[in-house]
Amino acid sequence: MRKRTIRVGIYCIIMAVIVVTASTFFHSVFAAWLGLSSYTEVQLVYDGLFWGGLFGGVGVVMAVAGLLAGAPRDSGHSVRLTPHLIVLAAVIFIFALLFFSSFHNPDTPSLRPGETITI
């Protein structure tokens, strides 16, 4: 097992979850901050999902390659994986929390008195 390769794979998976979370839940904030149009905002979401999937796929491949690889010749240098796994679990928990809270908070603002809806 090559712990450095696994650590880099975990870093890629963490980056993937962060990119997907930022592009799906905070796309309107980024669009307002950068002054993007609605089409570019949608493209930002698609690009975030693409790059998140790419980082996640690379991270999984690297982590599995690190698990399947033999032990390095100088095994005196150890790298702890526990803090990295805790950060990964925290990022996944934040994503899950935002995902489930998105079902309870509607994105449509409530109507003010005198406003109508045109269908």
The string of pLDDT tens digits covering residues 54-95 is: 999 999 999 999 888 876 666 656 668 889 999 999 999 999
pTM of the model: 0.77
Mean pLDDT for 21-32 is 90
Domain locations along the chain = 3-70+79-101
**Helices then strands, each counted (H, E), the chain:** 4, 0
* Burial degree of 117 (CB within 10 A; 0-12, 13-18, 19+): exposed
